[in-house]
Amino acid sequence: MDNLQNYMLINEAALFLGVSAGTLRNWERGGKIKTHRHPVNGYRLYKKKDLEALLKRVTQSSKK
């Protein structure tokens, strides 16, 4: 696993994207975003790069 500084917890990721934690869980189940698990406690982690790419895709599609 990469350095944990390159990841966000679910609440941080939800705040970053402007959605709820439940929405992120739904997106995970739907395959829209990949999650990783913390090696010690099993919490969901999201790569910052993945979140930035998702946000970019969403903002680009909303401009069309």
pLDDT value at residue 1 = 58
Residue 61 confidence (pLDDT) above 70: yes
The confidence score (pLDDT) of residue 64 equals: 63
The count of other CB atoms within 10 Å of the CB of residue 8 is: 20
Give the pLDDT of residue 48.
95
Write down the pTM of the prediction.
0.82
Residues in the chain: 64
Number of domains in the chain: 1
In a 13 Å sphere around the CA of 8, the CA atoms on its Cβ side amount to: 17
Cα separation, 62 vs 30, whole angstroms:
20
Q: Which domain holds residue 29?
A: 4-63
User: How many other CB atoms are found less than 10 A from the CB of residue 50?
Assistant: 17
Q: Which residues contact 56 (CB under 8 A, 6 or more apart)?
A: none
- CATH classification at residue 46: 1.10.1660.10
Q: Summarize pLDDT for 2-58 with one digit per residue, the tens.
A: 688 999 999 999 999 999 999 999 999 999 899 999 989 999 999 999 999 988 888
